[in-house]
Structure 1
Amino acid sequence: MSLDDAAEDLASSLGVDKAEVKEDLEKLVSYSVPMDEAKQSLRRKYGDEGSTGGGADDAPTTDIEEITTDDDRVTVTARVLTVGKRSIRYDGDDQTIFEGELADGTGRISYTAWTDFSLTPGDTVTVGNAGVREWDGNPELNLGQSTTVTLEEEPLSVPYDVGGQRNLIDLEPGDRGRTVEVRVLEVEQKTIDGRDGETEILDGVFGDETSRLPFTDWDPHDAIEAGTSVRLEDVYVDEFRGVPSVNVTAFTTVEAIPEVAVSDEATAMSVQEAVDAGGVYDVELTGNIIEVRDGSGLIQRCPECGRVVQNDQCRSHGKVDPEDDLRVKAILDDGTDSVTVILGRELTEEVYGGTLTDALEAARDEMDRGVVADDIAETLAGREYRVRGSLSVDEYGANLDATDFEESGGDPASRAERFLAEVGR
């Protein structure tokens, strides 16, 4: 049923103005309230005492592990693990939402509350008539106007940690209401085109003993300065270029703390582990370069956006006067999987053994820009390298933007034997 048809049906049965009902219905649906729940909410608003399906008693009591995206409404008794708060905007209206995780003895589930139910981590509550929606392929509870929340006196024992304290290595996209203690490794103030026009934000990198992750502070906090250590309460995590990214908001509490230790070492993984993780911000891989791909050596970039151009044509800016650059795109294989390693100009110059100017002179002497890529391929192919950088995985494959690249000095034959033994060959 379309929204217009639903509004007409409600207006007819309730005996009220259709335009008014439609406006209310549009607002509820815009906040992701399921249609059935929105209709029940409006029936109660307009005094339809005979309406059914709107109370907590109508929604079946369910264990969390049994909830699926096929469910409409459920009632659960659960422990509140985390509570986060942030502001969203839809159709020009600001809306404060509350979100986090609930758990019982059978499992965990995320929730979004469109009303302040005064949830506190550690509370045991019975949530009645909660809507169920799909979020990233999983069921999520939707706590709206027709939901009831009752605080239980007897605490529910659950096999999960209460509270949002996490190390950076444990953060995952979709986490909400998390608390981290980190050192600010890099920070840069930027101006972006935000929802209220030009907006100042902070972009940078956090670090702790376990990992490093990018962050964005959408409401710049004075305490977030390079070199400082801070405790951040109520951050949420999304995905940026295939890796978790920490988001600091106006609702985040930022407190200066004693210096947080940060490991100088990247997380060492096999290529397969890194690819299966879906992306890792700071990772170290070791393997053999088996191929230097097309698009390596001397390339040309758009002066406006930095994209690689062909025949002076940029996909975004049309015909341009391109700028010369150096790059390497090489396939690294460690016996478990392979990844495309991308070296920027500085690392490419180290591999090439000369500067961009040297490369341009060599290309002019040979009247062939391809000689630079040929020289690089001859240097790299077949050798074992240790690479550190940020790995992202998308529909085009796995790519690692390298920050460090050096020959490992290891024995490829011994490592190959070890990998073969691990897979039982």
Structure 2
Amino acid sequence: MADILDELRWRGLVAQTTDEEDLRAQLADGPVTVYCGFDPTAPSLHFGNLVQLILLRHLQRAGHQVIGLVGGSTGLIGDPRPTSERVLKTREQTAEDVERIAAQVRRILSDEEGPAPIFVNNLDWTAPLSALDFLRDLGKHFRVNQMIKKDAVAARLESDQGISYTEFSYQILQAYDYLHLYREHGCTLQTGAQDQWGNITAGTDLVHRVEGASVHALTTPLITDSQGRKFGKSEGNAVWLDPEMTSPYAFHQYWLGVEDASVITLLRIFTDRGPSQIEELERSLAQEPQARAAQRALADDVTTLVHGAEATAQARAAAAALFAGGDLSELTPQTLAQATDELPGGEVDAGTGIVDALVAVGLVDSKKAARRAIGEGSVAINGVKVDDDTRALEPADYLHDAVVVLRRGRKNQAAARRPGRA
């Protein structure tokens, strides 16, 4: 690539910038100090936040100084949503979420090449600010007629609910972050998602008014599938980076399931693979789509980035055991639990007959259908075919004393979980 901005554009990581010509020159002259903020609106970062972390990694690799900010103060307020007021979390809840999110930011940024990242919490410089200082030193630089033009604010003003002064003031707090980081670290670039453009440019304006300096903003586009639907949702649930909220197995499976029409775009955005590697995967996709080589590369790369190589290997082993005739008994208890948590099923005691077990986990709708499936040779216990409809589940069938994987046909699987142990 000619320069880092060209690479970011090729990867689909640029939606908007301020004064692109000047930004390009500054990035070329470098190093530039750049920051992105992450508010603790949940106990974990998610798919969308990962885009921002990957953008920072590219800039860091190019020799620029990156700052990962976790919003201990902005998280107490909440960025206004277009639809309704946020429910404020307690200070204790926010502090716990800050710690969890800070750990995720550190893990993803710290191992990258380039200058060591700086990690900050905006509560450190916002908490000492008095109400009078906030109004005199910051509020006087903002014009209400401009503030109400922000999309989320405008939408709320048109609603019956309106908007509280608390959320209305959010953009001032975020703008103050940019001013503080400019003063303390010489930061001249803030990045974020496209829907944060108004908040980010509030910061560039504040720095210009107070310090007389021109600083920059860069946003990433909203990532959608071929139907224009927002990526990052899986059956109504966010794809979280915390392994306790989205297991590494489920995370890996999510990326494996990406549609053909979107996978090349996502490879550019979410992996470090260069043009030649991605072109090869694109050829494979066109010639052998059933092999899903592009999806496998995407799933492996992103899971390794977020959870590590060992978690990726375990996720692959679990998928092979469930869907490709692998040995389920070789899975670790944790990986087995992650994989079977994704299966339908129910509690089934040892000693239950296979016919009743098939009905209990929902693989058939009647005992007659269960016997017919067994007679056809299409039923398996932990991958081993069953031909005796009087067979009962034995204690030894429960993998790690917790779960039996039942299969009907080639694809229909369910988990018979031992009561009190799965």
TM-score by length of 1: 0.23
Looking at both structures, which has the greater relative contact order when contacts are Cα pairs under 8 Å and sequence separation is at least 6? 2
Hey, which of these two has a bigger chunk of helix by percent? 2
TM-score by length of 2: 0.23
Which one has a bigger Cα radius of gyration? 1
